[in-house]
Amino acid sequence: MGQQFHDSGCAAVILAGGDGVRLSSFTREVFGYHLPKQFCPLFEGKTLLEQTMLRVSLLVPAARTITVLNYAHEPFYAPLLNGTASRNLLVQPENRGTAAAILGALIRLVEAEHTGAVAIFPSDHYVSDDSIFMRHVAAAFHAVDFSPQLIALLGITPDGPETEYGWIEPGAPVATAHAALGRISHIRRFWEKPSPNIARDLYDRRCLWNSFVLVANAPTLLSLIARALPEVYLAITPIRSFLGTATEEEVLRTVYRDLPSVDFSGRVLAEFPAELAVLPVTGVSWSDLGDPKRMLAVIASSGAHAISGGNLNVPRSQYSAIPRGQEQITRNKASQGQR
């Protein structure tokens, strides 16, 4: 995993409550049942959630990491999180989108008296070098410490004009005179899944892929969500008084019952691009593993040989992205979620 460099003042939220709809047909084909992407045992048998937790642990102590889950996925996450304190988990009764997940986790952190910087991580992405990536996250934490109102997204240096990713168009530098902020720029605009011509233009102008990893102070993020989604904010904040009590689960069920599903990126970040900043990430390969072709291409390029517990009878067309000699899918872990 590489060198550990804990920052004693930071916290993290890992988003692991997604349903994996985009890859559902593929995971059913491979595993014989629907398995959300974050629980897929890729790359020598570790799930993407496990890999994300290990990556985050290089910088953020487990005691200040909140993992957001979905109760329906308990058969998949329970064996992975055995021994994790309940205060470090937020188990949602249902998936109501990333806005509710992030808001609930931030409330749990603030109730635990954490009012400093927090990093938000998706749990289902691929990163080629965890140490290099987390050094960029550490730089973002340092920038937020220096400028407490800063909200910094990590933007991946692209390797081509990808049309299936979200893009970030950087603007002017935040403050070139300060070393902590030297590589960080304001965000001019977000581009979501652009056309081929626009993607080529964004690539040529050195725009960045949106990793959806961001760093900010917890109160700053809470304030942004309250402004963008006042109804969701008012609906969820009453859980504050019940977190960590015997009635937490019941209160969450009541709150989530009528809660709309809201995407944090589209309904919060995209509404306030001028208030956000971006830190370019270099030296790593990254993928959101959002479709079978990208997933299999990453497995091939990384030299990994396993989708553990998989079904070898996957249609030949699914393997078009894998070079000859790397098509072996091995089975070296029991299918704990099969039922």
pLDDT number for residue 27:
85
Nearest to 45 by CA among 337, 335, 338, 326: 335
Average pLDDT over residues 273-298: 92
Q: At what angle do helices 130-146 and 48-57 cross, to 10 degrees?
A: 50
- Using DSSP, state whether 194 is helix, strand or coil: coil
- Tokens representing 9? 């003042």
pLDDT band at 38 (very low <50, low <70, confident <90, very high): very high
Domain range summary for the chain, segments of one domain joined by +: 11-149+212-262+287-319
Residue 334 burial by Cβ neighbours in a 10 Å radius (0-12, 13-18, 19+):
exposed
Residue with tokens 């916290």: 11
Q: The domain 11-149+212-262+287-319 is classified under which CATH number: 3.40.50.2300, 3.40.50.1370, 3.90.550.10, 3.30.2420.10?
A: 3.90.550.10
DSSP label at residue 154:
E
What distance in Å separates the CA atoms of residue 113 and residue 218, rounded to the nearest whole number? 10
144-168 pLDDT, tens digit each: 999 999 999 999 999 999 999 999 9
136 pLDDT exceeds 70? yes
Quick: pLDDT tens for 59-118.
999 999 999 999 999 999 999 999 999 999 999 999 999 999 999 999 999 999 998 999
- Distances from the Cα of 315 to the Cα of 33, 37, 289, 330, angstroms: 16, 19, 19, 16
pLDDT tens digits, residue range 16-32?
999 988 888 888 888 88
Which pairing describes strands 277-281 and 151-156: parallel, antiparallel, or unpaired?
parallel
Q: Would you call 323 helix, strand, or coil by DSSP?
A: coil
